[in-house]
Structure 1
Amino acid sequence: MGNSAAGVLVGIDTGGTFTDLVAFDPESGELRTSKTPSVPSEPGRALTNAIAAADLRPGHIASLVHGTTVGTNALIERTGARVLLLATAGHEDIPYIQRINRKSLYDLRWEKPRPLLVSRRDSLGVPERLNSAGGVVRPLDVEAVRAHCRAVKPEPIEAVAISLLFSYVNPDHEQQVRQIVAEELPGLPVSVSHEVAPIWREYERTSTTLADAYLKPLMDRYVASLDEKLRDAGLTTPWAIMKSNGGAMRAGAAADSPIQTAQSGPAGGMLVARALGVQAGLPDLLTLDMGGTSADVGMILAGELRHTTEYEIEWGVPAAIPLIDIKSIGA
């Protein structure tokens, strides 16, 4: 393997503990696997180690698709970035107000989920207002946005989330705020709600945008490190990262939209489980994917994957992204 004219197809899944590789040569039909320890401090090395353990030549790899739990683990372990939230004035508490529903209706000691991805001091209101049709009720106060940005400059803010009312109908104010942030806080990654989650539910849209910003610096470093290691090892083909919905996207796109990788690794496992179920004549399956950091459970009914847009980082803290329906907990 490795000398095939067609090139080798490679899939690599990196978890918190182990990195697993499967390689297939479509010309010869040969299949190879390898399992190596993950290297959290240097993730690119785990991939090159797995490639070397399978005795593959990176220059002969035609396709490399990578499943990762970096986003999943960061959300579970709360190891993402410090995020600044810019919301419509009067709505900056939306991550704290959340929804009225309770997980344990009759438990008098039940505690409401805390906002996980932004502190109250980093949640600021922007004077502006659109109506439900996207019409301007109150023009954007540009100077107020600049003042907010200048006020937080001394703080170790790592990313910015922008979520304004009805921006999914008219994104003009969000686009203006993003431009101001780029001018006042250059270099900081920015997530805007009309791109991340263009939906009408304000809390879900804000929570999803926060999660995207929360993961951006981490995923950007992760992708850059992997790309450098893979290129140094001799990989010449573009490589992709699994999306939570079972698809794949170029590595650079994953760095720009990291919330789409929240269930990247587990999604790949679900695709394999369905394929094995079809071969074994088992259309109904319950799947369990347990690693060193998280345990992920999914269902396959009548040979079909269940999809949803109601992912919960923690109960009551949603991320409205399209994904295979998988439930994750800390292992």
Structure 2
Amino acid sequence: MRFAVDTGGTFTDLVVEDDSGLCRLYKAATTPHDPVAGMLDALSVAADADGRSLAEFLAGGNTLLHGTTHAINAIITGRTARTALLTTSGHGDILVLREGGRAETFNFTHEFPEPYIPRSLTFEVPERVMADGSVRLTLDEEAVLEHIERLKENAVEAVAVCLLWSIVNPAHELRIGELLAEHLPGVPFTLSHKLNPAIREFRRASSAAVDASLKPMIARYMSDLERRLREAGFRGRVLIVTSQAGVIDAADAAEAPIHIVNSGPSMAPIAGRYYAAIDSAAEDAIIADTGGTTYDVSIVRKGNIPTTRETWIGPQYRGIMLGFPWVDVKSVGAGGGSIASIDSGGLLRVGPASAGAVPGPAAYGRGGTHATVTDAAVALGHIDPAYFLGGAMTLDPEAARAAVERDVAGPGKLPVAEAADAILTIATENMVQAILDITVKQGIDPREAVLIGGGGAAGLNSVRIARRLGCRTLIIPETGPALSAAGALMSELKAEYHAAQVAHTDSFDHDAVNATLSALARKARDFAAGPGAGALETTITFKADARYATEVWEIEVPLREGSVSDAGALSEFVEDFHRTHETLFSFRDEGSFIEIVGWSASVTCRLSERKDLRLASPAGIKEKWVRNAWFAGIGWAETDVYRFETLKAGERIDGPAIVENDYTTVIVDPGASAERRPSGSLVVDVGQQ
């Protein structure tokens, strides 16, 4: 038995896969002050439903996969460790000066952002390594020891080390690491060349700073997580979802916590890719995961899940740069808990503020008073107040209508139903803009893609979103309410290794490049023999970070083999680069040579026999009934409501209709039709509005 837990901003999702391969979904309220408690609550709900004690239930599990927002929340809220930076003399302002970009070129009203590590905790070390790896100035170890004494005086809890050109010759960084371990025992540190051997110094320094700052807290979290799971009765392996759409052991996550900063959202595209392949013929897919707090959008392009190094937490250029690859996910503050209000100019706003899990929407009856997207859906009759979370939680429809009346209908001089519909319309527009932002920038026409709706709130307005985008097909997987957790069950143990090695296609050094690729391959094989031992299947793939010589930013291009053995292999790579560049930017420049600035190897180890997930169908449930619901252009109407699990493969329903199960409600708007597929998914032809 395997467990997958995704801790979101509002709910903690749990998918339990039994030994026969059938799955069950469960949800519990997230406990922001103690995320492990929310996980144990969800596991307790599952144990109760199975008729066993929590200890008995957990004892039957062999693997627990966990997606968490703990790391990114700590960065956003400033709860990271007190961290210092050691860097090369003359480069102490690297985190202050950044890369010089401006999101709004002529807007001078923004305050200049503070560096991630204060300048007062940045210490310059006398040393200098040149770009060719030669040592111009030997490391001054006495100066390092003096800095260590100052670190003690400043009660520093973590240290980041980023020296110039350590990616070519790491000797000085390694020696500083030895001195820190000896003279500052118990204080974790991160060496930039080991973590992120990238050429760009700011990104390397920033990633080292973020990683070091997270180490004390994530180490405690992972230790606490494993300890409490063991105490509760779990004896299996604990794996943590990474930002690169894979999983790693909890101990490895504690060693390099930057890998799990974007942990939760990275799993949705894994599940989305699977459902897009079996339920449609589309080459491209848009995966939209709607939670209570955020709307996370990712894409699958020709079967591949793109990653990006443009990883900013907060506004671009003014936020925090990770400089570390993660699955390209666009997140906006638009979810079931997004708060609606009329601003001073009389315009309706929805989000980014959220009612979250506590106190939650007004309908929750937990002290929340603001009108939210969930309240709007309740006011329209789209959500059954008596059947929220499968009846585990009863909503207050009068409180929902009152909140919509007070916050939107009254100020906007609208009937409550029209105001609630307007809330959903604005929420839809916010979500559409996020999708356009991530698709058009990567050469995807949303009209040619299939939309995958995941998350508990996805079904409320996914037909509207598909129509706005021009998508003809919407897929709501039966595991959709916990899409990220389902993706974790489909995921594989994964590691990526990077190396900086500059090469040019007009004077290609085959020996140097192949030596670099061989070293990366050895690291990948070592991982497969270590954490990946016993895997059912192991795959190693290679990529290059390349650009036209006149460009500033590089793109990732897969290598067909683990080497560039001869002129023929180089020609293949050149053509692959041109094709990738043309897909992304609509042009190729065959007259320019290509510059490669880095190489990487990815190793994936498949641990599970099964990848397809099917939900167990509960017995003795009602198949169809009627509910009064409101739809634009129709008004209030007696609407057919279907139970998701009881729809048979090939069964078709026409809108307006509602399809629901314990954890989601799918609105099939007028003019749309839906069909249950053998995979269990609900595939909706969105029709015309």
> What's the TM-score, normalizing by structure 2?
0.45
Q: Which residue of 2 aligns with 1:196?
A: 195
- Measure the CA separation in 1 of the matches of 2:330 and 2:174: 34
1:321 Cα deviation (Å)?
A: 1.9
- Measure the CA separation in 1 of the matches of 2:43 and 2:309: 34
After superposition, the Cα gap between the structure-2 partners of 1:274 and 1:78, relative to the gap in structure 1 and judged at 3 Å, is farther
Q: Which residue of 2 aligns with 1:36?
A: 28
After superposition, the Cα gap between the structure-2 partners of 1:280 and 1:217, relative to the gap in structure 1 and judged at 3 Å, is same
Counterparts of 1:163-242 in structure 2 under 5 Å?
A: 163-242=162-241
Question: What is the number of residues matched between the two proteins?
Answer: 322
- Measure the CA separation in 2 of the matches of 1:191 and 1:294: 31
After superposition, the Cα gap between the structure-2 partners of 1:100 and 1:42, relative to the gap in structure 1 and judged at 3 Å, is closer
Please say if 1:82 is aligned against 2:82: yes
Q: Does the 8 Å contact 1:242/1:265 carry over to 2? A: yes
Bigger mean CA offset, 306-315 vs 252-261? 306-315
Q: Which residue of 1 aligns with 2:134?
A: 135
1:110 Cα deviation (Å)?
A: 4.2
Q: Which residue of 2 aligns with 1:296?
A: 296
SS in 1 for 2:62: strand
Q: Does the 8 Å contact 1:45/1:229 carry over to 2? A: no
After superposition, the Cα gap between the structure-2 partners of 1:113 and 1:287, relative to the gap in structure 1 and judged at 3 Å, is farther
Residues 228-257 of structure 1: CA deviation (Å, up to 9, x unaligned): 111111111121001111111000000001
Q: Which residue of 2 aligns with 1:13?
A: 6
Q: Which has the higher contact order (CA 8 A, sep 6+)?
A: 1
1:307 Cα deviation (Å)?
A: 1.5
One-letter code aligned to 2:226? D
- Measure the CA separation in 2 of the matches of 1:33 and 1:157: 43
- Measure the CA separation in 2 of the matches of 1:221 and 1:294: 27
Q: Does the 8 Å contact 1:159/1:217 carry over to 2? A: yes
One-letter code aligned to 2:38? A
One-letter code aligned to 2:231? D
After superposition, the Cα gap between the structure-2 partners of 1:80 and 1:134, relative to the gap in structure 1 and judged at 3 Å, is same
One-letter code aligned to 2:37? R
Q: Which residue of 2 aligns with 1:62?
A: 62
SS in 2 for 1:179: helix
Please say if 1:53 is aligned against 2:56: no
- Measure the CA separation in 2 of the matches of 1:129 and 1:329: 43
- Measure the CA separation in 2 of the matches of 1:321 and 1:106: 29
Q: Does the 8 Å contact 1:43/1:222 carry over to 2? A: no
After superposition, the Cα gap between the structure-2 partners of 1:26 and 1:38, relative to the gap in structure 1 and judged at 3 Å, is same
- Measure the CA separation in 1 of the matches of 2:228 and 2:101: 46
SS in 2 for 1:153: helix
- Measure the CA separation in 1 of the matches of 2:81 and 2:293: 19
Please say if 1:102 is aligned against 2:89: no
- Structure 1's unaligned 5+ residue stretches are 1-7
Bigger mean CA offset, 122-131 vs 37-46? 37-46
After superposition, the Cα gap between the structure-2 partners of 1:181 and 1:172, relative to the gap in structure 1 and judged at 3 Å, is same
After superposition, the Cα gap between the structure-2 partners of 1:283 and 1:71, relative to the gap in structure 1 and judged at 3 Å, is farther
Match for residue 329 of structure 2 among 321, 326, 329: 326
After superposition, the Cα gap between the structure-2 partners of 1:177 and 1:328, relative to the gap in structure 1 and judged at 3 Å, is farther
- Measure the CA separation in 1 of the matches of 2:293 and 2:145: 40
1:122 Cα deviation (Å)?
A: 0.5
Please say if 1:22 is aligned against 2:25: no
1:106 Cα deviation (Å)?
A: 2.5
Residues 55-87 of structure 1: CA deviation (Å, up to 9, x unaligned): 261111122111111112222222211210000
1:111 Cα deviation (Å)?
A: 4.2
**Percent of aligned pairs with the same residue?**
37
1:49 Cα deviation (Å)?
A: 1.9
1:277 Cα deviation (Å)?
A: 2.5
Q: Does the 8 Å contact 1:285/1:300 carry over to 2? A: yes
1:181 Cα deviation (Å)?
A: 1.5
Bigger mean CA offset, 317-326 vs 248-257? 317-326
One-letter code aligned to 1:14? T
Q: Does the 8 Å contact 1:241/1:251 carry over to 2? A: yes
Counterparts of 1:247-262 in structure 2 under 5 Å?
A: 247-262=246-261
Bigger mean CA offset, 191-200 vs 76-85? 76-85
After superposition, the Cα gap between the structure-2 partners of 1:290 and 1:80, relative to the gap in structure 1 and judged at 3 Å, is farther
Please say if 1:243 is aligned against 2:242: yes
Residues 249-299 of structure 1: CA deviation (Å, up to 9, x unaligned): 000000001001011100112222222333331553433445466543322
Please say if 1:72 is aligned against 2:65: no
Q: Does the 8 Å contact 1:104/1:110 carry over to 2? A: no
- Measure the CA separation in 2 of the matches of 1:329 and 1:144: 46
SS in 1 for 2:33: coil
SS in 2 for 1:215: helix
1:134 Cα deviation (Å)?
A: 1.5
Bigger mean CA offset, 153-162 vs 278-287? 278-287
Cα-Cα RMSD = 1.9
